[in-house]
Homo-oligomer: A and B are copies of this chain.
């Protein structure tokens, strides 16, 4: 089979998995159902993925890779740290907000167990993402737009926590709003904090 068709089949399996994981959860989704949804035979899934867990891994990796690539493009015109921060926040939200099912997998299904969490939190891609945010904050310090005494690594995690909470809330929400609509408030909070001073 030519590579293009193979790749296409792999994608179909991955797409089916996202759909089903989001709907029924990782543990309740059966490989057979993924196969059926992807219009392949059960055994075929194993031609593309070693195990059910590896499918989850692949969803994470593929999506992160794509997200990081998008990030590179998207950052092109942004110069100042604040512009860049705004961009990266918007990208984070746009990216997750584009596909609720994928977002569900990211916000919930990828966090099944300590083992999973551990693997993902140590992943090259997530570290790369954190490094980019941290770099922006460092740049801000140099520019004088970010306060000198800020613990950059801590702030990076804090920002991630806020974005993550926003995304999870969106995924679980009954209301029908766009996730990106949170961008402004997130930036505002992150920059100025709560205090009146």
User: Taking the full assembly, how many copies of this chain does it contain?
Assistant: 4
Instruction: A172 to B28: give the CA distance in the assembly, Å.
Output: 25
Given A146-B195, A147-B194, A196-B146, decide whether A189 and B112 contact each other with a Cβ distance below 8 A.
no
13 contacts between A and B (CB under 8 A): A27-B112, A108-B111, A108-B114, A109-B113, A111-B111, A112-B112, A146-B195, A146-B196, A147-B194, A155-B189, A190-B194, A191-B193, A192-B195
Kindly state the interface size class of chain A when it binds its partner: 35 or more
In the assembled complex, A96 has its CB within 8 A of some CB on chain B: no
Q: Would you give the shortest CB distance from A89 to chain B, in whole angstroms?
A: 12
In the assembled complex, A161 has its CB within 8 A of some CB on chain B: yes
Instruction: A114 to B28: give the CA distance in the assembly, Å.
Output: 12
Interface centre among A148, A166, A196 (most CB of B within 10 A): A196
> Which A residues are within 8 Å of any B CB, using their own CB?
22, 25-28, 85, 104, 108-109, 111-115, 117-118, 121, 137, 140, 144-148, 150-151, 154-155, 157-158, 160-166, 168-169, 171-172, 182, 185-186, 189-197
In the bound complex, do residue B27 and residue A189 qualify as a contact, i.e. CB atoms below 8 Å apart? no
The 3 closest A-B pairs by CB, nearest first: A161-B165, A193-B193, A25-B113
The residue from B108, B158, B196 contacting A186, defined by CB atoms under 8 A apart: B158
